[in-house]
Structure 1
Amino acid sequence: MKGIVFTEFLEMVENKYGIETVDKIITESNLESRGAYTSVGTYEFKELEILIKKLSQNTKITSQNLMHLYGIYFFDTLTKNYLNLFDHYKDALQLISGIEKHIHVEVRKMYPDAELPYFETHESSDSKLVIEYNSERAMYSFALGLIERTLDHYKENAKVIMKLLNNSGTRVLFTIIKNA
C-alpha cells in the first residue's frame, strides 16, 4: 500500500486525537516499519489494519467507523494534491462513475505498483449510480467516506445506500440517489 495512505492516516490521528495518541498506537503496534512512513514508500496493508485496531481500542470507536472518518479526511488530501482532477467532472456521480476508467488509470501511471480496489458500474444516470466495490482489503467504509465527501464537494444532496455482498466486505454495492 502506498505510503501516502499511512502518512495521511497518522496526520488525521494527530489532528483529531493528538500526537500522544499517534505515539501510543505506533508503540503498541509493534510494526515492522516502526511507524516510519514516507508518502512515496510502499508498506504492508496489515500495518494499517494494526494501527486502526489500536486506534479503535484507544478511542472506543469501531474500526469501520474510523475507516469511514479516514475516507472523509483523505478526500481533502485529494483536493489539495489533485484539485484539477475535479474540474474534469460536472458532478459527483460523473466523478464516482469515472473512478475505474479515468482516475485509477491516472493513479497507475504515477504508481504502477499501486494495489487499487476495482469499481464496476452497474447502473448510471444523471440522478442514480449503482457501483460495486471490490477489494481484498475490505476498505469499504473508507470508500463510503470518499463518496460522501465527493457529494459534499459538488454540493449535492444524495442518499448513499451501502450493501455488503459478502460477509468479509470485499464486495460492496453502493447505490447513490440524488435528491430532487
Structure 2
Amino acid sequence: MKGILFTEFIDLVEDKFGLEMVDKIIEQSELQSGGAYTSVGTYDFSEMLQLLKNLSENTGISIDELLLVYAENFFSVLEENYPSFFKMYTDPIEMLASIENHIHVEVIKIYPDAELPTFELVERTDNSLIMIYKSSRAMHHFGLGLMNKTFEHFSTTATIILEKIKEDGTEVKFIINKN
C-alpha cells in the first residue's frame, strides 16, 4: 500500500484525536515499519489494518466509519495534488464511470506498484451508475467516501447504496443515483 495513504491517515488521526492517539495506536500495533512512513514508500496493508483496528477500539468508531471519514479527508489531497484529474470532467457520473479505464490507468503511471481495487461498470445513464467494487482489502467505505466527495466537488448530491455481494466486503455493488 502506498505511503501517502499512511501519512495522510496518521495526519488525520493527529488532527481529529491528537498526537497521543497516534502514539497509542502505533504502540498497540506490531508494525514492521515501526510506524515511520514516507509518502513515497510502500508498506504492507496489514499495517493499515492494525492501525484502523486499534483506532476503532480506542474511539468506539467502526472501521467502516473511520474509512469513510478518512476517504472524505483524503479527497482534498487528491484535489490539491492532481487537479488535472478533476479538470477533465464536468460531471460526477462521468468521472466515477472513468475510474477503471482512465483514473486508475493514470494512478499506475504515477505509482507503478500500486495495488488498486477494480470497479466494473455494470450500468450507466446520465444520472445513475451501477458499479461492482472488488478488492481483497475490503475498503469499500473508503471508495464510498471518495464517491461522496466527488459529488460534493461538482456541487451536486447523490444517493449511494452499498450492497455487499460477498459478506467479507471484498465484492460490493454501488448503486448511485444523482439527485
Letter in 2 for 1:69: V
What TM-score comes out, normalization by structure 2 length? Answer: 0.98
Q: Deviations over 1:89-123 (max 9, x none)?
A: 11111111101111100111111111000010001
Q: Which residue of 1 aligns with 2:155?
A: 155
In 1, the alpha carbon distance for the partners of 2:156 and 2:125 equals 15
Equivalent position SS for 1:131: strand
Structure 1, unpaired ranges of 5+: none
Letter in 2 for 1:125: T
Q: Which residue of 1 aligns with 2:101?
A: 101
Letter in 2 for 1:165: I
Q: Does 1:169 align with 2:173?
A: no
Q: Which residue of 1 aligns with 2:131?
A: 131
Q: Which residue of 2 aligns with 1:20?
A: 20
In 2, the alpha carbon distance for the partners of 1:20 and 1:161 equals 36
Q: Which residue of 1 aligns with 2:39?
A: 39
Structure 2, unpaired ranges of 5+: none
Q: Does 1:142 align with 2:142?
A: yes
In 2, the alpha carbon distance for the partners of 1:128 and 1:18 equals 39
Q: Which residue of 2 aligns with 1:4?
A: 4
- Structure 1 runs (4+) deviating above 3 angstroms are none
In 1, the alpha carbon distance for the partners of 2:80 and 2:19 equals 23
Equivalent position SS for 2:160: strand
Equivalent position SS for 2:130: strand
Equivalent position SS for 1:34: coil
Q: Which residue of 1 aligns with 2:71?
A: 71
Q: Deviations over 1:136-169 (max 9, x none)?
A: 0000011000000111111112110110001110
Q: Deviations over 1:27-49 (max 9, x none)?
A: 11121101000111000000000
- How many residue pairs match? The answer is 179
Shift of 1:71: 1.0
The alignment's C-alpha RMSD in Å is 0.7
Letter in 2 for 1:136: S
In 2, the alpha carbon distance for the partners of 1:177 and 1:63 equals 25
In 2, the alpha carbon distance for the partners of 1:158 and 1:28 equals 38
Q: Which residue of 2 aligns with 1:122?
A: 122
Shift of 1:2: 0.5
Shift of 1:85: 1.0
Give me the identity figure in percent.
Answer: 50
What TM-score comes out, normalization by structure 1 length? Answer: 0.98
Letter in 2 for 1:90: T
In 2, the alpha carbon distance for the partners of 1:95 and 1:136 equals 24
